[in-house]
Structure 1
Amino acid sequence: MGSFKGHVLPGTLFLMVGVWHIWSSVFRYVSNPKSFEVRVWNPVPGFDGKLKYFELYVVAIGAFIDLCIELLYSTHLKFFVNGVLNPSHLNDFEHSGMLLMFLLLGAIALLSEKTSFLSLPQGALCLIAAAAFIAEYLLFYFHSTTHKGLEGYYHLVLVLLIGLCILTTVAGAFLPNSFPVDLCSGIAITLQGLWFYQTAFTLYGPMMPDGCRLTGNAIYCHPTDSEVRGELIANFQLFSLVLGVLVAVVGSYGFAASRYGNSDLGSTHSVQDG
C-alpha cells in the first residue's frame, strides 16, 4: 500500500522529465529535421550553459531524495528483524531498488557528458534507461504488496504505461533518427507521471469512487458494483489523460513549427506526402 505523497513525488519527477522531453523532441525536429536524433536527455538552453544538465540533475537528485525517503525515513533504519530483512518494509526496499536504477541512470549520463572517463553514445544511454524502466516494471509486476481490487486495477494500468516506456526507449537505441520514437518516449513518460498523480488523487485523495473507502492499508468497495464502476472511471480517466496529452503535443508541434520551423521541414513533409 502506498500514500498520497508517495505517488505525487515520483509523479512530479516523471511529469517534469516527460513534458520537457516532448517539447525538446518537437523543437529539435522542426528546427532541423534532417539531423534529428533520438536523445535520452535534452540540454536546457540559456543562462550561459549553466542549466545545460538540469534534466540529469533532476533525475539523479530527485531519485536520490526519494531513495532516502524510502530507505531511511520510511524504514526508520530498521533494516533487519531477527537477522532477516524486515518483512514490514519489503515494499520500501523494492522501491529503493527501482530508485537506485534511476539514480545510476542520471549519474552515468552526467559522467558520460561531463568527463572523458565514460563517453557513451545515445544508443547506449537508451539501453541504460530501458534497464531502469525494466526494474520499475518488475517491481510493480512482482510487488511484495499484493494489489487487489480497485488498487490493483490502477497499478495494472501503471505497469502497462511502464511497459510502453520500455518499448519506446529500446526502440530509440535501434532507430536513432526516428522522431516518432523519440516523441512517443516523451509521451509515455508523461503519461506515467500523470497516472501517478491520478492514482494519488483517486486512491488516497478526494476522487475516491462512491462505495469505496480506504481502511487501514487496503481499499474496500461495497457493493461489488462499486468496484466495477471504479474501474470504468479509471478507464475514462486514462482516456482523458491520453487525449489531453495528444492535444497538447499537436498544439506544441503547431506552435514550434510556426515559430521555429526550418525551411527543410516543408520539403520533408512534401516528400512524405509523395
Structure 2
Amino acid sequence: MGSFKGHVVPGTLFLVIGLWHIWNSLVRYTSNPKSFRVRVWNPVPGFDGRLKYFELYVVAFGAFIDLCIELLYSTHLKFFVNGELNPSHMNDFEHSGMLLMFFIFGVIALLSEKTRFLPLPEGALCLIIAAAFSAEYLLFYFHSTTHKGLEGYYHLLLVLLIGLCIVSTVAGALLPTNFAIDLSCGVAISLQGLWFYQTAFTLYGPMMPDGCWLKENNVVCHSPDSEVRGELLANFQLFFMVLGVFTSVVGAYAFAASRFEHSDTRSLHSGQNGLDQD
C-alpha cells in the first residue's frame, strides 16, 4: 500500500522543484517577456556558477537514491522466486521503473547542458520529462497494488494531477514561447507534490476521516457513507490546495513584477488595457 515516508519523500522533491519552476518562470517573464522561452529546468544564480546545475543534480541524485532504496533495500535483493520476479515486491519494482525514468531525464539533461556529446533542444527535454511523467501515470493507474475505496480515490486524484504534468510539458515542447504553459507546468508539479503530502497525512497520519481507519496496511471505512464523506473531504482538500497555489502564484507575480519588471512588460499591460477600453 505505501507508507507516510514513502509519500512525503517524493512529495518534497516534486514540491521543491515545482515552486522553483514557478518562481523562475515569473522572474524570466517579468524581466523580459519578449525573449521568454519555456524551460524544463532553471539554473541557480550566483556562487560563481558553481550551483548552476543544482536542480538537475537534485533530480538525478534524488531519483537514484530513491531507486536504490526501492530496488535494493526494500526488496532485500530477493528479485526472483522460482525463476520469476518476486510477486511480494512488484510494488517496489514498479516504483523503481518510475524513478529510473526521472534519473534518465536528469542524466540526459546534464549531458546536454554540460557536454557536447548530446546537444538537445529544450523541446526534446520537454518530451523526455513528459515520458517520465507518463511512466509515473501508468504506474499509478495500472498499479499491481490494488487501490480500492478511499485509498483508491486519493490515488485517482493523484493520477489526474500527473496527467496535467504530462499535458503541460508536451505543450511546452509545442509552444516554446508561451508563458502560461511554462507557469502551468510548475503549478502542476507543485500540486502533485502537495497531494503526495495530503495523501500521507490523510491515509497514514492524523487526518484520517471519521469512520475510516488503517487496518493491516489497508484503509477500511465503517460504512459506505463514511467512505463517501472521505471522498468529499478529498475534493475539498484538493480545491483549497488549488486555491492556495493560485493565490500564491498571483502574490509571487506581483512581487516579481515590483522587483524585476521590464519596460516591455509595462507596455504589454498598457496595450492590453487600451484594447479593453476600446
Instruction: Identify the TM-score tier after normalising by the shorter chain.
Output: over 0.9
Cα-to-partner distance string for 1:80-137 (whole Å, 9 max, x where unaligned): 0111000001010000000000000000000000000111110000000100000000
Which AA in structure 1 matches 2:175?
L
Does residue 205 in structure 1 map to residue 205 in structure 2?
A: yes
What is the CA RMSD across the aligned residues, in angstroms? 0.7
Measured after TM superposition, the shift of residue 216 of structure 1 is: 1.1
Q: Which residue of 2 aligns with 1:253?
A: 253
Distance 1:192 1:158 in 2: 7
Q: Which segments of structure 1 move beyond 3 Å, counting only runs of 4 or more?
A: none
Distance 1:227 1:260 in 2: 48
Distance 2:65 2:94 in 1: 15
Give the 3-state SS of the residue equivalent to 1:120 in structure 2. coil
Measured after TM superposition, the shift of residue 184 of structure 1 is: 0.1
Distance 1:204 1:224 in 2: 20
Give the 3-state SS of the residue equivalent to 2:219 in structure 1. strand
Distance 1:152 1:21 in 2: 29
Which AA in structure 1 matches 2:69?
I
Cα-to-partner distance string for 1:121-180 (whole Å, 9 max, x where unaligned): 100000001000000000000000110000000000000000000000000000000000
Give the 3-state SS of the residue equivalent to 2:43 in structure 1. coil
Q: Which residue of 1 aligns with 2:217?
A: 217
Does residue 173 in structure 1 map to residue 173 in structure 2?
A: yes
Return the TM-score normalized by structure 2: 0.98
Give the 3-state SS of the residue equivalent to 2:44 in structure 1. coil
Cα-to-partner distance string for 1:194-227 (whole Å, 9 max, x where unaligned): 0000000000011011111111121100022111
Distance 2:28 2:92 in 1: 39
Cα-to-partner distance string for 1:222-268 (whole Å, 9 max, x where unaligned): 02211111001100100011000001000000000011100110111
Q: Which residue of 2 aligns with 1:116?
A: 116
Q: Which residue of 2 aligns with 1:48?
A: 48
Return the TM-score normalized by structure 1: 0.99
> Where does structure 2 lack aligned partners over 5 or more consecutive residues?
none
Q: Which residue of 2 aligns with 1:78?
A: 78
Distance 2:174 2:272 in 1: 21
Distance 2:5 2:20 in 1: 22
Distance 1:247 1:18 in 2: 15
Give the 3-state SS of the residue equivalent to 2:38 in structure 1. coil
Measured after TM superposition, the shift of residue 269 of structure 1 is: 1.8
Which AA in structure 2 matches 1:189?
I
Distance 1:142 1:269 in 2: 46
Q: Which residue of 1 aligns with 2:22?
A: 22
Measured after TM superposition, the shift of residue 270 of structure 1 is: 2.5
> Where does structure 1 lack aligned partners over 5 or more consecutive residues?
none
Does residue 269 in structure 1 map to residue 257 in structure 2?
A: no
Q: Which residue of 2 aligns with 1:62?
A: 62
Cα-to-partner distance string for 1:39-92 (whole Å, 9 max, x where unaligned): 000001011111100110110011011101110111111100111000001010
Q: How does 1:152-167 map to 2 (within 5 A)?
A: 152-167=152-167
Report how many residues are paired. 274
